[in-house]
A and B are shown apart, each in its own frame.
Chain A
């Protein structure tokens, strides 16, 4: 199988590392060669973060470059736009409609671009937008946004639902398994 590429992008503190860990674990269990790579450093302090997950028969590079991503899973609206150049021509963007103002917007130097999702659609990108924050709240914790989005990503994968749940059980702390399973199902079914 040719290598498939998933980018998980968002704002530091939103839990993209846990999401990539979940996906990585699942794909290893499914027998793929997998590389998961991130750069956090300073960016865990509310900065833009990106994690690459690549899987296939044999994965070489740990990074995803322009025009290579099959999926971009974005935890925040404009973060999807920031990395759109990395999406394949026929790739899919799964995006949380939540708006988190970056500092240049907070201090009034720049405007938050409201219409980036429409512009993506106009340019032929398949955009799957969901209000993951509300669904996470419904599941019992705003912090489960990351797992809601993984639930939505799962719809595009040919891997049985139970396998995803099993991976959640392996990755998430015992106290939070039920909330995260619910978050996953809300992302998957809505």
Chain B
């Protein structure tokens, strides 16, 4: 797309997650903009997110290029006051232009000079664009700061108007003269940027001596405290307690259908390759049911490789688990690989009929589109059979006995198989909770077998289990676990 350009505005929004609040790595997306030779804008608050989006579309049209907008956690997950503008509608005719849009080598070779010229023009734009601005300080400090994104907010929080700041709203390509002029006036210059030293390296490449990563970490996210500490400013007085507070990690909800299947997998001490979704929480105590989680789809493709290498050693005691939504995203390609290249693998699809973790988005298996309107519905059983899996079974994860039996049977088979563990997410509106269970303290012997299930509605007080009736949805799986019949459900 960088080479073809666009025939109308094209803006790609990406968000980095320094601190990894819900990510599995701390990658810096600015590298992609550099690699693709595509301009990248970096807003620092909600107003800039809106303003920059409009500018990004204009730049895209004007320079015939896709444009990145790079968000980060603290910009994406914060809300501040926004003045809205007028919406502008733009229409363009489609014009057939094979030399521009068919990227066969002969055409691509001809487009590369265009890309380089465009980058040079954009670098010129960066020198004078309002996206990049110098805020003159009062001169209280004898240094200047070059920064962008949320780091700018932290700098202003700490220094206010007391220090000169070059705030960069366009991080690719970066200006040269603007930085040199700023540095010449400021004297000593610090570069404050989260993650990798992109601005810092650019400054050094153009002969501007700056201090960056030797003072500010490559790791994690910053805050006003990061900056105050780095400059040795006075700490704020606070109170600390001597008591240690137990961690409160996220966990699967009470009544979560995933828990039943995980209980069975953990009980049978299977090796379990996991995937990305609520069910990654099966890795947490007390179930500790997962061996690996990498990225979306890696459970299925990983299982194939694991069993190809391990053969008889692994095939009958290893499964993978993947949610319905993740399976549609990138699990089915791995399953085709399993069927086509025949590894004796058992894939478990945890079908809770929704995309749970990210907030209940529909997916191609639910029969509704992202707006909730009727849509084509993928039939998982038919899909799995059609790619060449002959053994496809469906189980109810609330039925532990059935789950255990089917998992054992499928693992014993000498062919690839799929088990669909199907029950809708308990947070779906159409799933009506039953009455909470309660524990008969006379029957409970305090064996703690139910505590191994890891249901947040069950705790242990004064020698026996108790059910929190604000959390319990009456799924009743605990009752099937208890050897003494101590969990009782109210008659409805």
Contact = CB atoms under 8 A, between A and B. Distances in A.
Given A39-B21, A81-B245, A123-B241, A104 B77 contact: no
Interface in B233-253: 235-253
Contacts of A78: 245-246, 248
A181 interface: no
Nearest to A113: B243
A109 B78 CA distance: 35
A182 interface: no
A104 B281 contact: no
B251 A66 contact: no
A79 B248 contact: yes
A46 B250 CA distance: 5
Interface of A: 11-13, 24, 28, 33-48, 59-63, 65-68, 78-79, 81-82, 84-89, 100-113, 115-116, 119-120, 123-125, 142
Given A39-B77, A45-B281, A104-B246, A66 B241 contact: no
A81 B157 contact: no
A107 B285 contact: yes
Interface stretch (B60-68, B148-156, B188-196): B148-156
Interface stretch (B94-102, B408-416, B453-461, B483-491): B453-461
Interface in B59-91: 73-75, 77-81
A83 to B, nearest CB: 9
A61 B281 contact: no
Contacts of A67: 235-238
B470 interface: yes
A63 B223 contact: yes
A60 B77 contact: no
Nearest to A47: B250
Contacts of A63: 74, 223-224
B74 A123 contact: no
Contacts of B22: 39, 41-42
Contact of A106 (B236, B278, B459): B459
B211 interface: no
Interface string B132-155: 000000000000000000100110
B253 A45 contact: yes
B387 interface: no
Contacts of A66: 225, 235-236, 238
Interface in B188-247: 223-225, 235-247
Given A81-B243, A106-B460, A89 B251 contact: no
B448 interface: yes
B357 interface: yes
A106 B458 CA distance: 7
B246 A107 contact: no
Contacts of B239: 84-85, 87, 89, 120, 123-125
A60 B157 contact: yes
A47 B248 contact: yes
A107 B173 CA distance: 53
Contact of A62 (B153, B252, B286, B448): B153
Please provide the 5 A-B residue pairs with the shortest distance between their CB atoms, ordered closest to farther: A41-B22, A67-B236, A47-B250, A37-B78, A67-B238
Given A60-B156, A89-B239, A113 B244 contact: yes
23 contacts: A36-B80, A37-B74, A39-B22, A39-B77, A41-B22, A61-B150, A61-B156, A61-B157, A62-B75, A65-B223, A65-B224, A81-B241, A81-B243, A84-B239, A100-B468, A103-B249, A103-B284, A103-B285, A106-B454, A106-B458, A116-B241, A120-B241, A123-B239
A47 B251 contact: yes
Interface in B421-466: 448, 451-452, 454, 456, 458-460
B248 A103 contact: yes
A97 to B, nearest CB: 15
Given A45-B253, A106-B460, A86 B238 contact: yes
